[in-house]
Structure 1
């Protein structure tokens, strides 16, 4: 309590031999009422520490730690004045009742301590109030933010609901709308994608061919009997509509697209795309093959253009066309399909065209090594031509004897065999025949507009070449005649 510093600048601390002068005590020495020095200690605010020590001794409280003690200015009540008596009594009455004029010395200390804690309590309440006001403002701001986010979330939910409704509508529209109706909007689109002249003809052919297409579902095979059973259904629900399957088949014929490309366009698997194509090409060959037929001589004469009027007995113009194929792995097939004329592995097909540019016959495919005469004789075409008819062909068709055996005449350009130069009559005859025989070349060019036959045919489609050629020839017959008059 003595504020004294030694020579080193540190506070003086008493030892067991240290003594305190009597001028520092109220009574001149330590007494029970004033046991601690409180006067002339060298610093202010001495009485507070003394009162604290007295109060702790009287109430037997542990001394407060200095670091945790809330130090507040003490408010002392001077008891010398009668109007500030904390007991609230009359001073004259106290003097008459008690001969002792002063109160106990501990009372001012107790009152001062009570006033100190009350002031600290008020300050604590004030701090708490300020914190509460601050947190209240922050809570209001957060509440406004929450309200704004709630409104924003509600708006986003409404947008999500609208988008979900739009997606569902688009799904329903996609189910109701076929792929064919999406891309085949005009006759030009139909002609480009399918090779058919008009949109009306496309749907008429679809209605005509669809009932004859065999289902791709094979059913379940019994273990006891090799009989296919259909349990009340025709198989699983098809992934594509009938018009889409028909369009897929025609697009592969017309554009020569690969299976993977078609599968990506129609959103199906590649194996399913192949099965659809093979099913439809077989059915279309059976149904549309009836459009490639041999008419009687009366129909041919009635539809003959003017440029063929001077040939009353002409029946058809024949020629062979070749289709490129991939090189087979088998060496024998490589040799059999090699064409010295095309310098490629090919398949050869005989095509017969009436004077009105209608295809009346298309043979099966033969190996490219076979000659034109062998293909004509093996196809059986000469047996189907009515007797006493005239055929027109290229000079490579050396079938005059075979035609004579069947009472037929063959009209071919004259050759230059054994001569250094053709005669004028031979040149004029060659020109006349070439001007008429060019019709079959133009029709074959129309067949090759189906790019599957114009490009190199995959080896997997070689077993189906006859059906493909038949369908392409039938579709060419739906086109307008090359010579209208």
Structure 2
């Protein structure tokens, strides 16, 4: 006889029938097994295993932790770091303000699986962290199609309500009244600082001059002499001397010249006689700006460096300081927007380049303007705190 079977009992024994396992009860389920095994208690190691694997209800001791990890409105109310990480906004007050602006335009659905706050949070997480729809579907417990519809709907609502409120061209009086000291000394008549930035596409788009693409306006298409493949989008951004975005163009093919883009985006119509337009590099739009009786100044133009018999080193130092001031206002704003909302770093997914027939604007163009509007709100709060 093998030693293994020699340890079994020789005579029949009566065993208690095992009770169903329920780790949430206070009863200690104990029964005897042959000596080959061992006597165990459910409230011992088994319960820990069940708790870790997620079987059954979560013990009360873990409830506070689960509340902290949840994506509910209560979890964000007193946690500014969590608000900033998931939404890019500085605190819950700004998030609540955005919610207050959007709620009147959000439809109430009877069997909606996401609350209005969760719909906004899901969209901001898409912009902020550039999470995929499948990832968001797992996090919020909904289908991928629900995530897609929610993102497009909330982006459209923010584009029509939030962008006109936060991204606008202020009056000349407001611009000159709040000029920073660095700009006031060198360019007291500065109205806007121009720059361009590009975003790569996930999949190249074929653009034909005879067939307008959703990613550009008709004026831009006319300048394309032959069909070409577009792998990135280009945007013109106008920043106020105070550091807020006041103009964003629609996306155009990356191979379009800066002059063509500025001429067709509608920025020139906002200039007034006597305005000064600053740029770090030459946009070749001096004649277009001059037609509006305004003036274009390129901060890195060295053609006038050594006039009036000034010391070349002093003149070069002044130009370098002036150029740094312009870069600080424009380059920092562009980098801040991209850092705050990772979706703007690209590559842009193909569904976002499809034009919305109701507004004649692509979804990604809306996203760019919404990101600038949210950045302006955050920057305004930052300035208010400094004051």
**What TM-score do the two structures reach when normalised by structure 1?**
0.56
> Does residue 474 of structure 1 match 2:373?
yes
The aligned residue for residue 461 of structure 1 is 352
- Residues 146-168 of structure 1 deviation map (CA, whole Å, 9 limit, x = unaligned): 6xx5xx8499698299x999679
Match of 1:298 in 2: 173
Distance 1:263 1:465, change over 3 A: same
Residue aligned with 2:246, SS? strand
**Residue from 339, 349, 357 that aligns with 2:235:** 349
Report the structure, 1 or 2, having the larger strand content: 2
Partner of 1:199: 92
Contact 2:274 2:295 in 1 (8 A): yes
Q: CA deviation at 1:181?
A: 3.5
Provide Cα deviations, 1:399-444, integer angstroms capped at 9, x if missing partner.
Answer: 1111111110111035478xxxxx7687456424312211100000
Q: Say whether residues 1:445 and 2:344 are aligned partners.
A: no
Tell which deviates more after alignment, 257-266 or 179-188: 179-188
Alpha-carbon distance in structure 1 between the residues aligned to 2:56 and 2:345: 47
Q: Distance in 2 between matches of 1:437 and 1:158?
A: 65
1:364–1:466 Cα contact (<8 Å) kept: yes
Partner of 1:274: 148
Once the two structures are superposed, what CA deviation does each residue of 1:354-399 show, in whole Å capped at 9, x if it has no partner? 1110111111111111111111111111111222111101333111
Higher RCO, 1 or 2 (CA under 8 Å, sep at least 6)? 2
2:214 paired with 1:328: no
- Of the structure 1 ranges 466-475 and 296-305, higher mean CA displacement relative to structure 2 is found in 296-305
Unaligned 5+ segments in structure 2 are: 1-10, 28-50, 216-226, 304-311, 354-361
Q: 5 Å matches for 1:118-157?
A: 153=19
Structure whose alpha-carbon radius of gyration is higher? 1
Q: Map 1:50-449; keep pairs closer than 5 Å.
A: 153=19, 159=25, 179-182=72-75, 186-213=79-106, 215=107, 236-290=110-164, 291-310=166-185, 311-328=187-204, 330=206, 332=208, 336=228, 338=230, 345-413=231-299, 415=301, 427-428=316-317, 430-438=319-327, 439-449=329-339
Please give the alpha-carbon distance, in whole angstroms, between the structure 2 residues aligned to 1:251 and 1:437: 31
Instruction: State the match for 1:105 in structure 2.
Output: none
Query: What is the alpha-carbon distance in structure 2 between the residues aligned to residue 394 and residue 379 of structure 1?
Result: 19
Let me know the Cα RMSD of the aligned residues. 3.5
Shift of residue 330, structure 1, vs aligned partner: 3.5
* Corresponding residue SS for 1:327: strand
Deviations 1:208-228 (A, max 9, x none): 212213x4xxxxxxxxxxxxx
TM-score, scaled relative to structure 2 = 0.70
Report how many aligned residue pairs link the two structures. 307
